[in-house]
Amino acid sequence: MNNLFELNEKFSMPGVVIFEKRTNNIIDLLVSNRYADARICLYGGQITSFRPINKPDILWMSSNSNFEVGKAIRGGIPICFPWFGPHKTDNKKPQHGFGRLMSWDLTETAVMPNGETLIRLQLRSSEATKLFWPYNFIAEIKVIIGKMLKATLKVTNTSSGHFEYTCALHTYYNISDIEAITIDGLGGASYYKHGEPGDFKQDSSLLEIHKSVDRHYHDTEAVCIISDSSFGRKIHVDKSGSKVTTVWNPWMEGSAKMNDMPDDAYKTFVCIEAVNSFDDTVNLKPGESHETSVIIGMEE
C-alpha cells in the first residue's frame, strides 16, 4: 500500500510522521521527534537522512542520486539483499540484489514510551522477486529513530526448504573531508581487498584514507568510530548479526565513472557497512530468521 492518501489515513501521526511524494510516484516518510529528524524512502526501504536535533546529517546523499524506479538510490542506507556485490553466476542480475530496487510496504508507525519513533517496512516474495531469486521469504526493516538510529534487516525463510543469502546495510556517512578523518575499531583486523588475492591485516590502530579503498574486514563485530575534527564530531558505528565490516570509498576515478555521483563526491563520504557475506553468509532453514542491525549516533 504505497498510495499517498491511504498512507496518510493509516500511518501518519501529526507532528511526528508525514508523507511526501517525489516525482515518479516515489514516496518518502518523514519523521520528526525530540531527538532527530529522519527520512525514509519507501522505494528500496531506504533511510536517506538522519539528522540529530541541531546537528548536521549523519548520513550522506549524492546530489545526483536517482529517485527513479529501476535505479538504485545513491546514499543513505541502501539494503543489499539477497546478495552482496555482483550475483555469483549471472552478471545480468542487479548489483547488490533487488531489495534496493523494489517498493517496500509500510506496516507500522508508532511512538515509543521514551519518545522514539518506530517504523516497520516489509518486502515479501512475489512473482517480481522470483524473477531474480526462487525462494519464499519475508524481509522486514525495523527502524528506530531516537538519539541513535537503529536499523534492522530481519529475513525469514517461508520456503519449504533451506536457502542461503548475503546482505549488507551499505551505510554512507557524511564527513567533512575523506583525508581528514580517522576510523578507529579495525586495528588488528584481517581483511580481503577487492580485486587482490590473499588476506591482509590492518596493523595500525586507526585507518586513514588517502586513495580508493574497498576492504572487507572479516571476523569482526567491533564498534567503529569516525573522528571528524573539521565537523567537530565523532560518529559511533555499532552493529549486530554481522561479522564482516566493509569500508569503501571509490576515490576520484571511481566517482567520475558513476553518473549518479558528482566527480568530487568521494571527498565527503565514507561507507562503513554491516555485511553478511564471504565467511559470514546466512543459511536459514524453513521458518528460521536472521537479523542484521546497524546502530548509529554521535559519540558524546
Residues with Cβ < 8 Å from 139, sequence gap 6 or more? 79, 81, 99, 122, 123, 124, 153, 154, 155, 156
pLDDT tens column, 108-155: 999 999 999 999 999 999 999 999 999 999 999 999 999 999 999 999
Does the pLDDT of residue 3 top 90, yes or no?
A: no
pLDDT tens column, 15-60: 999 999 998 889 999 999 999 999 999 999 999 999 999 999 999 9
What residue has cell string 541513535? 148
> Structure pTM?
0.97
What per-residue confidence (pLDDT) applies to 24?
Answer: 81
Question: What average pLDDT score do residues 97-106 get?
Answer: 97
157: three-class secondary structure by DSSP: strand
Residues with Cβ < 8 Å from 7, sequence gap 6 or more? 1, 19, 27, 29, 106
Sign, Cα dihedral of 172, 174, 180, 183: negative
Q: Which CATH number fits domain 4-298: 2.70.98.10, 3.30.230.10, 3.40.50.720, 3.40.50.1170?
A: 2.70.98.10
Does the pLDDT of residue 1 top 60, yes or no?
A: no
Residue 11's nearest CA partner among 150, 105, 148, 136 is 105
- At residue 195 the predicted structure's pLDDT band, cuts being 50, 70 and 90, is confident
Tell me the domain boundaries of the chain.
Answer: 4-298
196: three-class secondary structure by DSSP: strand
Instruction: Specify whether the CB–CB gap between 296 and 236 falls below 8 A.
Output: yes
What per-residue confidence (pLDDT) applies to 2?
Answer: 65
pLDDT tens column, 159-190: 999 999 999 999 999 999 999 999 999 999 99
pLDDT tens column, 240-270: 999 999 999 999 999 999 999 999 999 999 9
Rg over alpha carbons for the chain, rounded to the nearest Å, is 19
